[in-house]
């Protein structure tokens, strides 16, 4: 099984910490600064999960649907400081595996990584 986890965010700041944490848990990770780079990556790889910081990368229901269709095995996890995203209601209900609040909590990340692993088995 592919152990790659993609983290998408325009700036690397806290995502470097997330990627370091993911690596310590035994997974490989990569930070992408745009969804165009994600499209290119999905042509060659099928990551286990894709974390997208939606506070820095503009995304809509159509884009999340396309990501899901292009890589249905990859679980989509959204990261945001905001609690509500009514404009993404459709995608969150249909294509998104989880929404994670900032600041990131390692216990919550552990929970989702274990859930992803269990779903992949």
To which residue do tokens 């249909």 refer? 94
- In this prediction, residue 1 carries a pLDDT of 44
Q: Are the CB atoms for 35 and 59 separated by under 8 Å?
A: yes
Whole-number Å distance between alpha carbons of 94 and 55: 20
Residues 6+ apart with CB under 8 A from 4: 27, 28, 29, 30, 45, 47, 48
What letter would DSSP give residue 78? E
- In this prediction, residue 43 carries a pLDDT of 82
pLDDT tens digits for range 53-91? 999 888 999 999 998 998 898 999 999 998 888 889 889
CATH of domain 4-120: 3.40.50.2300
In this prediction, what percent of the chain has a pLDDT beyond 90? 40
Please measure the distance between the N-terminal and C-terminal CA atoms of the chain and give it in whole angstroms.
9
Whole-number Å distance between alpha carbons of 23 and 33: 19
The count of other CB atoms within 10 Å of the CB of residue 114 is 11
Q: Domain map of the chain by residue range?
A: 4-120
This prediction has a pTM of 0.89
Of residues 121 and 54, which shows the higher confidence score?
Answer: 54
């Amino acid at each position: 099984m592919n152990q790659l986890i993609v983290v998408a965010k325009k700036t690397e700041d806290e995502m470097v910490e997330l990627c370091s944490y993911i690596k310590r848990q035994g997974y490989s990770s990569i930070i992408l600064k745009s969804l165009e780079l994600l499209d290119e990556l999905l042509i060659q790889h099928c990551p286990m999960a894709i974390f997208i910081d939606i506070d820095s990368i503009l995304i809509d229901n159509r884009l999340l649907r396309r990501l899901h269709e292009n890589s249905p095995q990859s679980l989509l996890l959204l990261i945001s400081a905001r609690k509500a995203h009514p404009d993404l209601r459709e995608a969150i209900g249909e294509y998104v595996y989880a929404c994670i609040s900032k600041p990131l909590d390692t216990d919550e990340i552990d929970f989702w990584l274990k859930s992803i692993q269990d779903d992949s088995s």
